[in-house]
A and B are shown apart, each in its own frame.
Chain A
Amino acid sequence: MSASLAAPAPGGFGRMTLRLVLIGAVLLLAMLPALNRLPADSALHVSDFIVSITGKWITYAILALAIDLAWGYAGILSLGHGAFFALGGYAIGMHLMRLIGPRGVYGHPVLPDFMVFLGYRELPWYWLGFDHFPFAILMAVAVPGLLAGIVGYLAFRSRITGVYLSIITQALTYALMLAFFRNDMGFGGNNGFTDFKELLGMPLNTPTARSALFYASLLLLLAALWLCSSITRSKLGRVLVAIRDAESRVRFLGYDVTQHKLFVFVLSAMIAGLAGALYVPQVGIINPGEFSPGNSIEAVIWVAVGGRGTLVGALLGAFSVNALKTWLTTVAPDLWLFALGGLFVAVTLFLPRGLIGLFSKAPK
């Protein structure tokens, strides 16, 4: 890890200005679902599409925040965070599948359609409990956290750092993708879960459900931002930055590097899992494609574009890259991959501190 990174707090960009911009952006976002309720001919009317896609981007922004916490502050470049996101999504997806109940195509009172189709007699044991919402949410946090705990413990204990860790995490999400593609895993195989009906008594795909999910995502984003910023400003955050810049030295000073990294990696995975749990009800589908290594690395580039090591940068990157993606894939679909590839090259070569770096003073 090079030491030429931006300091955690942006230099010339005053803290007050930053706060004002942030509060303004949040207020603007919070108004979207309300504006959606205005009559369609009103000048301020916002379309359903805008609300649902912004809701999706907010969950992406939470994922970006999680990646930034691990990469920007502790130097752990995980190329497998998409796996934690997808696991959270699968957890809530299992709950949503259970809620379909007898309304499936086959009309089985308990088993989801794909299980009836595959000839299951009864629910596999790992599906038990998912008919309760709190349990599903708990799993959306606990499963990614546990997986990150095991992988992180094994990796950090043997001091696997840098690109080696990146490759291992990439292999992890790749392995999970292969596993979830299998029909006999009991997670719907290739098709994953879809055709959800309702959540917490609200039929999905109605304006009420859309706004509720939107506000829930926004609240989670704010909570995650608050949590991450209080961590990074604490003594713990200072130690993490120190680990990022000179791991051995921190170890020689008597800090337990393994525990610090493990803590931040697990926390980051949990936040990513929650983001996934909010993402799935909004897009209405989850399949093994979410585990593809490409997704994880795309999320990393959001953070790089925005500016890693600054939490606001991660948010900025997630929104701007996804806005660009949505625009380009409608205007010129073939150009998107060129543009994304170009972003990887341009940001690493010319904008090592991301878009945020444009506004703040260059490091000495």
Chain B
Amino acid sequence: MKNLLLALGVLLWLALPARAQDAFTAALPGLAGGFGDIATSVEQLGALGDPRALPILRALQAGQLQKHADGRLLLPGNTDAATGQPADASGAETVRLNNRVRQALRGALGRLQLVSPDAAERGAAAEAIFRSRSAEDVPTLQAAIARETDAGVKAKLVLALAAAQLVAPDEEAKRDAIARLGAAGTVEARALLIEARAANPTLVTAIDISIASIERSLSIRRAAETLFQGLSLGSVLLLAALGLAVTFGVMGVINMAHGEFVMLGAYATFMVQEACRGIPWLAPWSLPLSVPAAFLIAAAAGAALERGLIRHLYGRPLETLLMTFGVGMILQQAVRTIFGAQNREVASPAWMQGTLMLPGGIAVTQNRLWIIVFGIAVLLLVIAAIRFTRFGLEMRAVVQNRRIAATMGIRTGRVDALTFAFGSGIAGMAGVALSQIDNVSPNLGTGYIIDSFMVVVFGGVGSLAGTLVGALTLGVVNKVLEPYAGAVLAKVFVLVAIMLFIQRRPRGLFALKGRAAES
């Protein structure tokens, strides 16, 4: 054991680069001296830019660096600071700090991190310098910018340089820095400029111009983020309302169990995920797989509901409303009995997680982005199915004139069942999307049903374009109002606004015209 350690020590000794004897080693003994010596030594180590100094200075900052009476330094874990060899800790005492040393340490550590091989560490160092900024950092930063290969870190370095230049005496560099900070458009840059405004009376105009430009870009970014959140909420509403637009809008059947079909879709997603769990290569793709599964399950439930019950109540909308509400209740309770009342976990696949940074610093969560894409895809699919397929043609024929369609040989009963199944299946697909952003629980659907009806009524019954515009409008308006009124009051305002809106346009935004509108 002892031999082995010795061999390891020799190996380490040999592995140390020849520069071991250079300025780095020369600067070390100062750390064992008085406070003045320590501070000078720290500054030297920082200026050298040698990565080996990093652990030593960190240990010093943390109060974990120890020294022997003969000047040898010990790192935590009892290794010699100069050689990296194991060393004896007995009799060693901690190197103490005073304020001057601490200040020197902060600057030196910041500079040393700039040469770290890890890009994230370099970025953090740039941010630290941006916050602590001093005129002395200017040459270090300029060197670091010249070396830097990572674009993200480089941008941070440029900002830090601007911050450092603001406190440096060079007037021309200051003007330059002010312009660059203005272009950066961040909250930190604005705070920096406001601080510099008092210290530099000669540059007030330039600073004011920059601040104004930051304000502009900040408000644009805020608006863009609100818009994105609104669109994301809108696409959730769109998904939930599209199915209704088919069953309620096209068929005129009011289905209060629609929310429960959404819930069924979410549980189908959960079941597919559980089924895929055992197959490693399939597991990441369980979410795309659950889209057709959710469609089929909800569509089957819809077809059964239409053929079994709703068919008997055509022409009696109020009874249909009550009956389907009862069906929704039964579905909810059935799912609660089978799966339990607690929430079920549906995981996001890795390729949907994380945040995307768009140019201009706009943060966008990936799964919300996917939901927007999914919502648009489903909308296009529905339009295509209605416009270009045989089923769509028959469906439109039955809606326009049931009896003539029947005389032409269309089996209207079958078309009714298929249409209802289609609308319910879309609700199931909405459930897949909702499983990503909401709790999968038996009452998942109840939270969306009223909003979905509002979308359909607002957009205009029987119009897919109306559903799209209605859903996106409601989503965006909700999110725009939220910061001023809070989420709940925003919802209340929207409900009241819709009630007032129907005063002016009782048939919605995109009212059907002509004969179809009379029924």
Contact = CB atoms under 8 A, between A and B. Distances in A.
B327 A344 contact: yes
A318 to B, nearest CB: 16
A337 B329 contact: yes
Contacts of B312: 349
B506 interface: yes
Interface in A320-364: 334, 337-338, 340-345, 347-349, 352
B318 A345 contact: no
B489 A301 contact: no
B324 to A, nearest CB: 8
Nearest to A345: B326
B254 interface: yes
A204 interface: no
B321 interface: yes
B304 to A, nearest CB: 13
B500 to A, nearest CB: 7
B316 interface: yes
B81 interface: no
A348 B450 contact: no
Given A163-B317, A334-B333, A171 B454 contact: yes
Contacts of B317: 162-163
A170 B450 contact: yes
A1 interface: yes
B323 interface: yes
B333 A337 contact: yes
A182 B454 contact: no
B228 interface: no
A345 B327 contact: yes
B318 A167 contact: no
B201 interface: no
Contacts of A301: 322, 326
B370 interface: no
B517 interface: no
B50 interface: no
Interface stretch (B35-43, B109-117, B490-498): B490-498
A171 B329 contact: no
A344 to B, nearest CB: 2
Interface string B326-337: 111110111001
B326 A154 contact: no
Contacts of A343: 326
B329 A300 contact: no
B488 A168 contact: no
Contacts of A166: 318, 321
B457 A164 contact: yes
A178 B491 contact: yes
Given A170-B450, A334-B333, A348-B313, A179 B326 contact: no
Contacts of B489: 179, 182
A162 B506 contact: no
Interface in A177-210: 178-179, 181-182
A103 interface: no
B457 A178 contact: no
B134 to A, nearest CB: 46
Interface string B241-274: 0000000000000100000000000000000000
A342 B326 CA distance: 6
Given A154-B503, A171-B495, A337 B330 contact: yes
Pick the most buried of A168, A300, A342, A352: most chain B CB atoms within 10 A of its CB. Answer: A168
A157 B316 CA distance: 23
A17 interface: no
Contacts of A345: 309, 323, 326-327, 330
A304 interface: yes
A297 B325 contact: yes
Contacts of B318: 1, 77, 162-163, 166
A178 B332 CA distance: 22
A151 B499 contact: yes
A178 B492 CA distance: 7
A138 interface: no
B172 to A, nearest CB: 54
B450 A297 contact: no
Interface in B460-519: 486, 488-489, 491-492, 495-496, 498-500, 502-503, 506
A342 B486 CA distance: 39
B488 A304 contact: no
Pick the most buried of B313, B328, B450: most chain A CB atoms within 10 A of its CB. Answer: B450
Interface in A263-322: 293, 297, 300-301, 304
A233 interface: no
Pick the most buried of B254, B309, B318: most chain A CB atoms within 10 A of its CB. Answer: B318
A168 B254 contact: no
Nearest to B505: A158
B337 A341 contact: no
B171 interface: no
B212 to A, nearest CB: 36
B499 to A, nearest CB: 6
A41 to B, nearest CB: 41
A50 interface: no
A279 to B, nearest CB: 23
B319 interface: yes
Contacts of A174: 450, 495
B422 interface: no
Contact of A348 (B319, B334, B492): B319
B59 to A, nearest CB: 49
A77 B316 CA distance: 13
Contacts of B359: none
B453 interface: yes
Given A162-B317, A342-B330, A348-B319, A167 B453 contact: yes
26 contacts: A154-B499, A154-B503, A155-B499, A158-B502, A158-B506, A159-B506, A163-B254, A163-B317, A163-B318, A167-B453, A167-B454, A179-B492, A300-B322, A304-B322, A338-B329, A341-B330, A342-B326, A342-B330, A344-B322, A345-B323, A348-B313, A348-B322, A348-B326, A349-B313, A349-B323, A352-B319
Interface of A: 1-2, 77, 151, 154-155, 157-160, 162-164, 166-168, 170-172, 174-175, 178-179, 181-182, 293, 297, 300-301, 304, 334, 337-338, 340-345, 347-349, 352
Interface of B: 254, 309, 312-313, 315-323, 325-330, 332-334, 337, 450, 453-454, 457, 486, 488-489, 491-492, 495-496, 498-500, 502-503, 506
Given A77-B321, A159-B506, A347-B322, 14 more contacts: A77-B318, A162-B317, A162-B318, A166-B318, A179-B489, A297-B322, A297-B325, A300-B322, A337-B330, A338-B333, A341-B330, A344-B322, A348-B323, A349-B313
Closest A-B pairs by Cβ, 4 of them: A344-B326, A341-B329, A341-B330, A337-B333
